Structure 1
Amino acid sequence: MTDSHVLELVDLLQLERLEDNLFRGQSRDIGTHFVFGGQVLGQALSAAQQTVEPRRQAHSLHAYFLRAGDIHAPIVYSVERTRDGGSFSSRRVVAIQHGQPILNGSISFQEPEEGFEHQSSMPEVPAPEDIEPMQPLPPEQLAKLPEKLQRWLGVDAPFEFRHVWPQDKLHPTKRPPYQHIWFRLAGRVADSDVLHRSLLAYASDFNLIGTATLPHGISYYTHNVQMASLDHALWFHRPFRTDEWLLYSFDSPTAQAGRGLARGQIFSRDGSLVASTAQEGLIRLKK
């Protein structure tokens, strides 16, 4: 049976249409006090898709996070139909709360077509079944943590993650800036390419900028570290399902000036490269 948190996420991505190019979405609190960036990405993609011919599929998304979102207020998505060409459509999306933009995005769609093919090879890593699932902290340990961490660690997630190289993020150690993580939706959902793209946009925001923290022995849980996504890019390459295991392979080539850059490749179980990502984020040590 489909997990209730999965049903909640699927419903979250089904926006209310207010006008031809205007949509409204709600938010889910995942323990961060603010709207999760992946939620806004997934909803922005869902809004833009509803203004495009059904045959045209999203192949790239580029977005800037401008302000932290308010989990207690709805988000309005304004879509500008920038261009509809012979095989491509382009849309600009602005996510708005309290009269101010919280995200600017551009999304491109393409008619299905055949073409040249090559791809990177999937890293050789253990299968997800050979990796121990992440265990929740016992309630007595959770109660000893700061409120920020209690909220983040105490919320049930619609996605399951299995780290090839697990790390204690409460007590991080310095390690090279790359990691591999298997992930999948916690329940089965409909056979909809549109839905699975929006779900992948949501999940693509997890763990990206965290890869840039690995060489420095810090994490999101470190009390004097401020982290936030600044921009996000996502390219769809081949068909996939988010309710089947996908391997997210990350690396971070650089960090400087309070910012870190991370890149990701997402592979299906059979080794197909289905999507690529890139993100720059704020990584600031607070005094």
Structure 2
Amino acid sequence: MTELARKAAVEEDQAEGSGQRVLDRLVALLDLEQIEENIFRGVSPARSSVRVFGGQVAGQALVAAGRTVSAERKVHSLHAYFIRPGDPRIPIVYEVDRIRDGRSFTTRRVVAVQRGKAIFSLSASFQTPEDGIEHADEMPEVPAPETLPTMAERVQGFPGLPAARWLPRPIDIRYVNDPPWVTRGTGRRTSSNQVWMRADGKLPDEDLLHVCVLTYASDMTLLDSPLARHGVYWELDKVVGASLDHALWFHRPFRADEWMLYETSTPSASGGRGMATGRFFSADGGLIATVVQEGLLRVRD
């Protein structure tokens, strides 16, 4: 186990502390220990929920894949399945399969294992940068992130929320619209959600790390949209949910420690599942990533 990962495993999260300190713990979590040529090991925070956060295992799996690929090739897409709940009390082993190394593209498959069973699988594709046709959707007009309440301000009066219990976070999140835990009792229904996000501190100049931090953050707030559509929210209502699969496409270079607008919406919910789509925009309006996820969403009367 690397020294950074060991510190992340034993150091308790504090109610106080700078954003940089909390962000450094996330960077430590993404610093996997290499135990064989294609086998890596990661840990979870010392204080975690009953299962591993989906964004964490996705980010760590992408780190494992990226460390078997030459630095000049950049990840442009990933497709993942959450197979079993991860246990945060024990390490996660990431086994990388080097599927293909072509002239322009590299493909990797990663399986995350605990107690001899797969809990998560990921396929990722990397490409040598090249020129070509270019266009993108325009970013919607929204208020600047500095003018919006912080997450700590948003959760005041809602001590039962997971967001309230796990502050501070490594990702600074500013809701543009009212969060679903605010709108749930008002009768307002919306299929879309907008938040500004950025790593809450300074990240090293490593392209793969910024992509993995965005991957981590992309699992936050994504299922807000289907829940807000029906006026319910985690732990305030009888909602049972989990990520089922997750896909990401990276379109343009970015820094995850600079503001990004994350706009999500829900095209459908049925069969105990809800789908959400998302788009990340840089502060200057560039479309940098597209997200699709389906989640288990069981709402009890």
Flag whether TM exceeds 0.5 (same fold): yes
Q: What per-residue deviation string (whole Å, max 9, x for no partner) do you get for residues 265-285 of structure 1? A: 000000000111000001102
Partner of 1:202, secondary structure, is helix
Partner of 1:23, secondary structure, is strand
Partner of 1:169, secondary structure, is helix
28-37 or 178-187, larger mean C-alpha shift: 28-37
TM-score, length-normalised on structure 2? 0.88
1:131 correspondence with 2:148: yes
1:36 correspondence with 2:72: no
1:113 correspondence with 2:130: yes
Q: What per-residue deviation string (whole Å, max 9, x for no partner) do you get for residues 133-159 of structure 1? A: 233556x973xx4xxx4x652222111
2:4 aligns with: none
Indicate which of 185, 188, 196 corresponds to 2:210: 196
The residue type paired with residue 175 of structure 2 is H
Shift of 1:15: 0.5
Distance in 2 between residues matched to 1:126 and 1:2, nearest whole Å: 22
RMSD: 1.8
Partner of 2:152, secondary structure, is coil
Partner of 1:243, secondary structure, is coil
- Pairing 1:240-279 to 2, within 5 Å after superposition: 240-279=254-293
Fraction of identical pairs, as percent: 47
Contact 1:30 1:36 in 2 (8 A): no
1:165 aligns with: 177
Q: What per-residue deviation string (whole Å, max 9, x for no partner) do you get for residues 76-114 of structure 1? A: 000000011110000110000111101011000000111
1:8 correspondence with 2:19: no
Q: What per-residue deviation string (whole Å, max 9, x for no partner) do you get for residues 231-263 of structure 1? A: 000011101111110000111111111111100
Partner of 2:87, secondary structure, is coil
TM-score, length-normalised on structure 1? 0.93
Cα gap change, 1:129/1:37 in structure 2, threshold over 3 Å: closer, same or farther? Answer: same
List runs of 5+ in structure 1 lacking aligned partners.
none
The residue type paired with residue 260 of structure 1 is G
2:70 aligns with: 53
List runs of 5+ in structure 2 lacking aligned partners.
1-17
Shift of 1:29: 5.7
Cα gap change, 1:236/1:186 in structure 2, threshold over 3 Å: closer, same or farther? Answer: same
2:9 aligns with: none
Q: Which segments of structure 1 move beyond 4 Å, counting only runs of 4 or more?
A: none
Shift of 1:41: 0.6
2:12 aligns with: none
Distance in 2 between residues matched to 1:167 and 1:132, nearest whole Å: 11
Shift of 1:221: 2.5
